[in-house]
Amino acid sequence: DGGITQSPKYLFRKEGQNVTLSCEQNLNHDAMYWYRQDPGQGLRLIYYSQIVNDFQKGDIAEGYSVSREKKESFPLTVTSAQKNPTAFYLCASSTDRRRDNEQFFGPGTRLTVL
């Protein structure tokens, strides 16, 4: 089945450690996105990539980094510079960035920093 996978579903890390969240898609989509969701809030864009080897900052990129070496993969690293990293992280993809192209989402990773 085509879709987006994120692993792991739950992740615990100690404060000060970097952590990488995985996102893989087999939909052959060009565009991929990372969002952060806090309790009672909507999604906020962290980074997006329109094509391999290219990515752009979203609204809340500080303390995060990404790479896009392969079309199907868009890992997100939460660095120790991120002041409040505990949140629910969602990865998404779309065929491209056309206005009417819906984004397909993965199941999410819940990150807790202790």
Partner 1 sequence: AQKITQTQPGMFVQEKEAVTLDCTYDTSDPSYGLFWYKQPSSGEMIFLIYQGSYDQQNATEGRYSLNFQKARKSANLVISASQLGDSAMYFCAMREGQDYGGSQGNLIFGKGTKLSVKP
Cβ 105 to partner 1 shortest distance, Å: 4
Taking residue 61's Cβ as centre, other Cβ atoms within 10 Å add up to 16
The encoded tokens of residue 26 equal 């087999």
The encoded tokens of residue 44 equal 């906020």
Say if CB 109 and CB 88 are below 8 A apart: yes
Q: Is 98 in the site for partner 1 (CB under 8 A)?
A: yes
Q: Is 60 in the site for partner 1 (CB under 8 A)?
A: no
Alpha carbon distance 109, 44 (integer Å): 15
Cβ 87 to partner 1 shortest distance, Å: 12
What does the per-residue mask of binding to partner 1 show for 35-54, with x meaning CB under 8 A? -----xxxxxx--x------
Reduce the DSSP state of residue 13 to 3 states and report it. strand
Site residues, partner 1 (CB under 8 A): 33, 40-45, 48, 58-59, 88, 90, 92, 97-100, 102-108, 110
